[in-house]
Structure 1
Amino acid sequence: MTRPNFLVFLTDQHRADHLGCYGNPVVRTPQIDELARSGSRFERTYVANPVCMPNRGSMMTGRMPSAHGARGNGVPLPLESVTFADVLAGSGWRTAMIGKSHLQNMENTPPALPPQAPSGLKAVPGLDQARRTRIDQPEYRQELRSSWADPAHQLRLPYYGFQEVILCNHHADECFGDYSRWLARHHPQVADRLGREHGSRDPAKTAPQAWRTQLDEFQYPTHYIAEQSQEWLRRHARDHAGEPFALLCSFPDPHHPWTPPGRYWDMYDPDAVQAPRTARSVDGQPPHVAWLWRERLAGQARLESPRFFAANEREIRDIIALTYGMITNIDDRIGGVMQTLRECGMDRDTVVIFTSDHGDLMGDHGIMLKGPLHYQGLIRVPLIWRDPEAPGGQVREDLASSMDLGPSILRRAGLAAPDGTQGEGLFEPSGATRPSGRTGVLVEESQQRAYLGFDTPVQVRTLVTRRHRLSLFQEGKWGELYDLEDDPLEERNLWDDPAHARLQSELLQELAQTMIRHADRCPRPTSLA
């Protein structure tokens, strides 16, 4: 299999430990578990950034957000970026993306901190930013909900290397794109009854951002994405049987809001799931966690917004149960796509990958959603790689990064990653294991918001080694240091412990050296001077 196919399943805001194959005893994920049983399961894969747009950019380019430019949500991936899909398409693979993209902005929401000239100084229009390339131009408005309101709007193909795209952007039953047009054609009776204003609240559930959708499971975005992927595979087998393909099947769930359709809504009993042990521990939390708890107790938490918040145990149980329903829905649909792959006779020629763009705090330390709290539930993601040419049942303990996805696909295809790629190829062209060689993984986060007790937008850099997690904040005299072996729940912050001062110094030096190694080296020089 010298030119294998690639089928990538991508979920959104999905923790590694919310899968059966990663040790979860409650959530039912037999299809994904089977991929792990017949493939390689990575235990220590971490995000390059725990936010959607920057980490998706890293998965596509094999580069850190500080290198590819989409440093946070609200900043699109530069169109000049060379992605793994570009390289595959340029080498004879048919490339397609079906589902959520989020490589560009999805909504017209104004930025939290728009640029402002210092008091008394005048900004020169058109020259008010350090780069001439503007990201408010039409080519960077392709994924906006407002753009898709125009019936004639389509993505300009190829789109970041994908020759075909069927777009289903956003989350829950509030998705739009090709999906909303399909829904209007085939299910007009519910097409205008989407979102929280049309959903019904369940009095048995206290969770914010949770409603019973008007959609049944066969109208819901998860089913649509799987069905479109199955149809694409059938067309490929019929019309392009001699060509290899790369298909990204990208689900918007289990990201909040929590709206699992039909039978998935109450598939899991909140009383049968456990809230994290750390959710009950409010006293002695680090300053940023304590800030969120003070905000909630003062009645100032933004429970219906995308920003993270402190939650009580009842809310956490409700949310976990609803999340499990969304995950099982995804698992059922992955089963259908895999069945189609087998029916088309392409299973033995296809590398199948499952991963997520980032995790969710999901009640760790009593906090929901995501933000600059780099606990394991947020920054550690599942990565499963099933290769027909390789033995199954392997468990990989080497440190891996989300930005290894693209380089691994290209190396397995026998193709060189572009110069400037920072990720590692985790498999050889033969399918054999190739260790990452990492001693640490770098995690970046650059927020628009000034909160958690900081006066400026939160900037944090994290280093995860085989045993420790160190997080350094731009502002503030405190940081975080956890021994993941002795303290896997990250309850004892060793940052100010005199007994660990030498360890802190050593890890800070390793963090600095890791950041130096990840400095951008692209474009390469064309002369000595």
Structure 2
Amino acid sequence: MTKRPNFLFLITDQQRADWLGCYGHPVLKTPHIDSIAARGTRFDNFHVASPVCMPNRASLLTGRYPSLHGLRHNGCRLPLSANTFVDLLAEDGYHTAAIGKSHLQPFTDMPPMGKTLEEIAKQKEAWKADTGNYDQEEPGQYTADGRYAFKTPYYGYQHVDMVTTHGDRCGGHYHQWFRENADDWEALHDDANELPHGYTCPQAYRTPIPEDLYPTAYVRDRAIDYLNTRVGKDAPFFSFVSFPDPHHPFNPPGKYWDMYSPDDFDVSLPYSAHQNPTPPMRWLDANLQSGGGQSTPQTAQMLTDRHLKEAMALTAGMMACVDDAVGEILNTLEQNGQLENTVICYTSDHGDYLGDFNMLLKGALPFRSVTRVPFIWSDPADRSAGTSDALASTVDLAATILDRVGIAPFNGNQGKSFKSVLTDGGSVRDELLVEFNDGGIRLGFPKPARVRSLLTPEWRYTMYLDEDWGELYDLGADPNETLNLWDSADHFEMRAHLAERLTHHLTAQMDESPAADRIA
């Protein structure tokens, strides 16, 4: 019988697809990640199920959309009763590990936007409270010296090395390790000790934390440790290695800070390129002109060209740091003799506007910069390089990984295996759904935005709940989404067709699990 493959699943946080050398970035160099594409299939039309961290990470594990798996927006939690493809791998004999950022449960102890903890406690819900252990990612677990004993299995993972939050001051097991390994750790976390620099863009911070104590190095080293422990073991492994970067704040450590210059970058798609901006875009522009700032550090905003170029340069530095870490992990895999039987995947949990229409970060506007992410699959069955323009989604990953090892997905899985794309080319989807649910009021919306998009290879159709406007883009003629055809009389028929197709997708958002066990 053919030996089942190992999996090294590499994922970054908030990286758009075109920010890799192998995806054609004109400035950023990522030779180690590019080497995965050089011996695998690079997907050029891969999109998230939701362009936000927590919902999309839950969709990756469950093969289900946020409307069904329950982690609808950041601050919610994936029910512990949820089945994941990692559960199925573990049941079938795989050793499973999560190293780095997980973010399936809240990792702060702060209330959501516009509410207090007291108000949340008094609120009655449609479902009775789930009393499971939902605080393992919260900061209170990691304040003591030593190492918090993480309770497993955790959504199928038997080994967990937790990193929470973002930037140079991540939490979780990393924070405990950092305190043990940095004699002056409090000084390194003191804003007063920021290294000097000339950047003025929001959230630019020159960390005094050295490269070998930075969170990316921690994830790298723990991943290498894990791979070394699996040498000679009979059970195959699935290792989920998750870097918190290049998510803001913009704080690449050491040599990575000035590896790239703002002058190396251009704002190639300015706000002026959009011919008929939507109301939220106009709100963001007015907010920039009035100096309104952000409601939270995670809220999308428009910035000047100079500030965007600075953010790009620092993002490139963070990506270079990740790329070097990936190179060392791949080198370990090869030196250990594990490469010859390991599937390597690379992706991100969502993108970043990163200058498109002068916007930064992510939000309710589902431009390709935030929905389209890199995805690379390198398989020991065939290491030849190739590309695919097949439409695929994060929601498809669970079905594909299970298909690769011969395990049937559980009832209620909504994804489609694209294994045939890898072996025979072609496609498995004509269209896909992208969901967005906001947890607060922002960008000029009167209430938290509820957004649904239908994507085809040629079109993007987007509905905003209770708004009398929407978006329709001809991606073939207008790949940068600069002309909204929503009100175009020449496109009413196409708009109606796509609206009907979206209705079919929304009608499918009924949970098929659990299946009926009686006729009535």
2:54 corresponds to? 53
1:71 corresponds to? 72
* Amino acid paired to 1:432: T
1:447 corresponds to? 438
1:206 offset after TM fit, Å?
Answer: 1.9
Q: Does 1:149 align with 2:130?
A: no
* Amino acid paired to 1:467: E
What's the secondary structure of 1:66's corresponding residue? Answer: helix
Q: Distance in 1 between matches of 2:61 and 2:239?
A: 13
* Amino acid paired to 1:22: Y
2:236 corresponds to? 244
Q: Does 1:217 align with 2:217?
A: no
Q: Distance in 1 between matches of 2:158 and 2:425?
A: 30
2:124 corresponds to? 128
Q: Distance in 1 between matches of 2:188 and 2:11?
A: 27
Which shows bigger deviation, 431-440 or 47-56? 431-440
Q: Does 1:319 align with 2:330?
A: no
1:277 corresponds to? 269
1:266 corresponds to? 258
1:233 corresponds to? 227
- For residues 129-208 of structure 1, the aligned pairs below 5 Å read 129-134=125-130, 137=131, 139-151=133-145, 153-190=148-185, 192-194=187-189, 196=191, 198-200=193-195, 202-203=197-198, 205-208=199-202
Q: Does 1:507 align with 2:502?
A: no
1:285 offset after TM fit, Å?
Answer: 1.8
Q: Which of these residues, 333, 344, 368, is aligned with residue 336 of structure 2?
A: 344
Structure 1's 142 and 393: CA in aligned 2 closer, same or farther, altered over 3 A? same
Structure 1's 172 and 23: CA in aligned 2 closer, same or farther, altered over 3 A? same
1:516 offset after TM fit, Å?
Answer: 1.9
1:197 offset after TM fit, Å?
Answer: 5.6
1:394 offset after TM fit, Å?
Answer: 1.5
Instruction: Map Cα deviations across residues 240-292 of structure 1 (whole Å, 9 max, x no partner).
Output: 2x210000110000000010001100101110111132345477421111101
* Amino acid paired to 1:85: V
What's the secondary structure of 1:506's corresponding residue? Answer: helix
1:133 offset after TM fit, Å?
Answer: 2.7
Instruction: Map Cα deviations across residues 118-151 of structure 1 (whole Å, 9 max, x no partner).
Output: xxxxx998781001134xx561111011332244
* Amino acid paired to 1:295: N
* Amino acid paired to 1:101: S
1:288 corresponds to? 280
1:120 corresponds to? none
What's the secondary structure of 2:54's corresponding residue? Answer: helix
What's the secondary structure of 1:8's corresponding residue? Answer: strand
Q: Which of these residues, 412, 436, 439, is aligned with residue 420 of structure 1?
A: 412
Q: Distance in 2 between matches of 1:185 and 1:142?
A: 20
Q: Contact (CA 8 Å) 1:9, 1:355: kept in 2 or not?
A: yes
Aligned-pair identity (%): 38
Q: Contact (CA 8 Å) 2:148, 2:173: kept in 1 or not?
A: no
1:448 offset after TM fit, Å?
Answer: 1.7
Structure 1's 177 and 505: CA in aligned 2 closer, same or farther, altered over 3 A? same
Q: Contact (CA 8 Å) 2:40, 2:379: kept in 1 or not?
A: yes
What's the secondary structure of 2:352's corresponding residue? Answer: coil
1:405 offset after TM fit, Å?
Answer: 1.4
Q: Distance in 2 between matches of 1:71 and 1:497?
A: 33
What's the secondary structure of 1:443's corresponding residue? Answer: strand
What's the secondary structure of 1:365's corresponding residue? Answer: helix
* Amino acid paired to 1:278: P
Q: Distance in 2 between matches of 1:81 and 1:366?
A: 39
> What is the TM-score normalised by the length of structure 1?
0.94
1:88 corresponds to? 89
Q: Contact (CA 8 Å) 2:112, 2:440: kept in 1 or not?
A: no
1:433 offset after TM fit, Å?
Answer: 4.4
What's the secondary structure of 2:133's corresponding residue? Answer: helix
Q: Distance in 2 between matches of 1:98 and 1:411?
A: 24
Structure 1's 234 and 446: CA in aligned 2 closer, same or farther, altered over 3 A? same
Q: Distance in 1 between matches of 2:217 and 2:435?
A: 33
Q: Distance in 2 between matches of 1:521 and 1:411?
A: 20
Q: Distance in 2 between matches of 1:462 and 1:413?
A: 32
Q: Contact (CA 8 Å) 1:173, 1:195: kept in 2 or not?
A: no
1:497 corresponds to? 488
1:299 offset after TM fit, Å?
Answer: 1.8
Q: Distance in 2 between matches of 1:45 and 1:282?
A: 24
1:485 offset after TM fit, Å?
Answer: 1.1
Q: Distance in 1 between matches of 2:211 and 2:22?
A: 25
- For residues 348-367 of structure 1, the aligned pairs below 5 Å read 348-367=340-359
Q: Distance in 2 between matches of 1:434 and 1:162?
A: 32
Gaps in structure 1 of 5+ consecutive residues: 118-122
What's the secondary structure of 1:99's corresponding residue? Answer: strand
2:12 corresponds to? 11
* Amino acid paired to 2:209: L
* Amino acid paired to 1:369: L
2:41 corresponds to? 40
Structure 1's 431 and 47: CA in aligned 2 closer, same or farther, altered over 3 A? closer
Instruction: Map Cα deviations across residues 411-455 of structure 1 (whole Å, 9 max, x no partner).
Output: 101111111111111116x97347552111100011122233322
Q: Distance in 2 between matches of 1:41 and 1:96?
A: 25
Q: Contact (CA 8 Å) 2:99, 2:219: kept in 1 or not?
A: yes
1:207 offset after TM fit, Å?
Answer: 1.2
Q: How many residues align?
A: 518
Structure 1's 494 and 145: CA in aligned 2 closer, same or farther, altered over 3 A? same
Q: Which of these residues, 463, 466, 469, is aligned with residue 460 of structure 2?
A: 469
Q: Distance in 1 between matches of 2:102 and 2:192?
A: 25
Structure 1's 155 and 138: CA in aligned 2 closer, same or farther, altered over 3 A? farther
What's the secondary structure of 2:266's corresponding residue? Answer: coil
1:408 corresponds to? 400
